[in-house]
Each structure stands twice: as C-alpha cells, then as structure tokens.
Structure 1
C-alpha cells in the first residue's frame, strides 16, 4: 500500500476548506450578477411606471393582493379629504429636490372617497415650518384629488432613532405605524408621495421623491470573486511553502 507523504496529507483539509469556501464566494458573486441583471431591468420599468399617466388608486379590496415590487413608484390619482389634524412629521437630513437644508416630510392621512385611508407624503418643510400654524395656507380643506407615486414603507435598521409619537415626529415613512397611532382603519399598507403641484403659501413642497435606486451589484460581485481568488492564492502559497 502506498502511503501519502506527510506534507501532502497535511494539505488535505486546508484544500477541502479552500475549495468549499471558494465555491461559496464564487456562488455569491454569480448571485450578485443575477441581481445586477434584475436591477438593470427594474430601473427602466420603474421609470415607465413613474412617468406614465396616473392610474386610479387601488380600492381597499385589492390592498392585500398588492406586492411592493409591483406597485412601487406607480403613478396614481386618489380622491378624498385630508385629515389635517392627524399630521405626522418624518425627519429628513435634506429636502432633496426642495433644498439641501434639513427638515421634515409632512405625512397626512387622506380619507378616501371610495373608503379607507392612505397616508400621503405631501412634501418637505424646513425646520422653521415644522409647526402647522406656520403654513396654514398650505392646508387643503374639503374633498380634493391628488396625484403622486405609490411608495412602500421604509425599512428601519439598527441606527434608526426611536420615534417621538407624542410629538408626532418619526424617522421612517411607515404608513401602518402612523395609521395605527391615529386609529385609522382600514389603512393602505403603502403610501403616496404627492407630486409637485404647488400649494398656497408654498409649503409643503411636493415632488421630492428621489428615484435613485442603488445599483452596486457589479462591485459586490467583483468583491466576492476577488475574495475567492485571494483565498485560492493564499492556499497556493501555503501549499508551496509546505512542499
């Protein structure tokens, strides 16, 4: 029986580990390339949705069936009455299209003519317009029709501060949370970002939706492939030194 040299035997498990880890890293790189292809197809689809003619806002019966990926940035029109006494403010470090200064997004429930509620992001206000009393001219009274883009809730992360519900100040756009706080039901599980139609007094400024979808999948793929190559290189050096 032929016995494997000791230095070669000592390389068996490092080789197994290297091959397994490299395979995982390569598969992650391939997955990112698939995500890249998906994202590159999604971006023009979203632009088409956002720039198309506004569609009627979905009725309550359709809400449970809607998937976020199918309705995000859909251009819609909704009719109803704003409940201005139930306003919520979402902090923003920048106003986006409304300016670089920090401030708040003004989120107001719209009681839909067809039934139910939807939380509408009416637009941005700077700090000195936080109080509703400083922008009374911008309040829309009575039944109205708005157009804007459907938006799914923002995700929280470890660094998201806690909301101040007593002050009506939030740090993410979460329609469900805001509707629950005000006791609104049934409420749409998504919101609407109002378009840039001017309002009396100039505030809030709508149309601040930013459609800058992150698309870093190619760089992520290069990172995974690079790590796989580096791992193989380290093993090759290790094996050469042991040989």
Structure 2
C-alpha cells in the first residue's frame, strides 16, 4: 500500500530530473558561448597587435611620393592607410571643408583643404583641428597658405559614413565624416583623392 507522500514524490522526481537536464544543457551552451567569445577576443587581440605594428611601421617609415591619379584605383586600406607620404602643390583655400570633430581639445572641426599638384591632381589634405570659434576663415588668415607648398603626412582613406556618425548634409555644408567624393561634388572639383 502506498501512502499519499510516496505517490506525490514521483512527479516531483520527474520535474527535478527535467530541471537538472535543462540546466545541464543550458550550462553547456553557456560554456560553449563563453569559450568561443574568449577565443574571439584572443584572435581579435592578435589582429589588433598586428594592425598596431603595421601602422607603427608605416608612420615611422621614410615618406614616399603620394600615389598619383593613375594609382588611386589600387590604393586600399589594408596596404596603404597610414603610409607616410609627401605631396607638392597649391592649396585651394576657398574650397576648404570643415568636418565636425570632438577631441580632447573640445568641440570643433577638422579643416580639409584640396591641394592641386603641378599635374592638376587634387588631393584633400587634413590641415588639423580648429575650435568652433575659428570656423570663419577670416579668423585664421595665417593658416591660408598661398603658393606652392610641400606637405608630408599620413595617407588616410575616406570615411563616407559611420554607425555612430550623423549623416552629412551637403546642402547645409554640415559635414560629419570624411566623404571626399561628396566634398568634391559640393565644391565642383571633379575627381579628388
């Protein structure tokens, strides 16, 4: 004869086994997830260290001539970004573009000015950061270089958009990313690097 206590313990055991099985499967899934995330982090660390070494080598290398217009199609981020380059030409100061920036110096703009080489090639040069108070070119006349000049710097790739960036608004001259193609269209410059 069974007592009421014995009869009710059988469903409890089934429930308990199901719960333990479920928790074991869930634990195994979480273990696999965390293991794969750990492996991904180690691989990502190695990728980042390789990237830093590559950039460091390029930044400290002797400058080379900037790629000419015929070479632009072959320029890519993996092989060329942060390459130390030199370029000679004249600034088109009246065609400069201000790209919004937030740096440790505060809010302001990166000044990007097209430089026309002797062969007519146009390349946007990032001339540096200015605070909001220097937006008007007349407030920084000393930076409006006239005549031929030689620039040495780092080759950077255009960044037409970004996940965390507001979209550019060419009609309002409101730039939030380095979209060289859009700059050139707005300023009527044709093909520009």
Which structure is higher in RCO with an 8 Å CA cutoff and minimum separation 6? 1
Report if aligned partners of 2:170, 2:182 keep a CA contact under 8 Å in 1. Answer: no
In the other structure, the counterpart of 1:130 is 135
Distance of aligned partners of 1:129 and 1:27 in 2 relative to their CA distance in 1, 3 Å threshold: same
Secondary structure of the residue aligned to 2:155 is strand
In the other structure, the counterpart of 2:94 is 85
C-alpha distance after superposition, 1:145-183 (max 9, x if no partner)? 21111112345224x334342453312222232223223
Secondary structure of the residue aligned to 1:32 is helix
Alignment partner of 1:152 out of 148, 157, 177: 157
In the other structure, the counterpart of 1:119 is 124
Report if aligned partners of 1:88, 1:106 keep a CA contact under 8 Å in 2. Answer: yes
Report if aligned partners of 1:88, 1:169 keep a CA contact under 8 Å in 2. Answer: no
In the other structure, the counterpart of 2:45 is 36
Q: Does 1:75 align with 2:81?
A: no
Query: d(CA) in 1 for partners of 2:31 and 2:48?
Result: 26
After the TM superposition, which residues 201-220 of structure 1 pair with which residues of structure 2 at under 5 Å, given as runs? none
Unaligned runs of 5+ in 1: 189-243
The structure number with the bigger radius of gyration is 2
C-alpha distance after superposition, 1:105-162 (max 9, x if no partner)? 111112233453221111122222211122223212233221111112345224x334
Query: d(CA) in 2 for partners of 1:81 and 1:139?
Result: 11
Unaligned runs of 5+ in 2: 1-12
Question: TM-score, with normalisation over the residues of structure 2?
Answer: 0.78
Alignment partner of 2:147 out of 137, 142, 149: 142
Question: TM-score, with normalisation over the residues of structure 1?
Answer: 0.64
Q: Does 1:173 align with 2:182?
A: no
Query: d(CA) in 1 for partners of 2:30 and 2:74?
Result: 40
Shift, 1:12, TM fit: 4.3
Report if aligned partners of 1:49, 1:73 keep a CA contact under 8 Å in 2. Answer: yes
Secondary structure of the residue aligned to 1:170 is coil
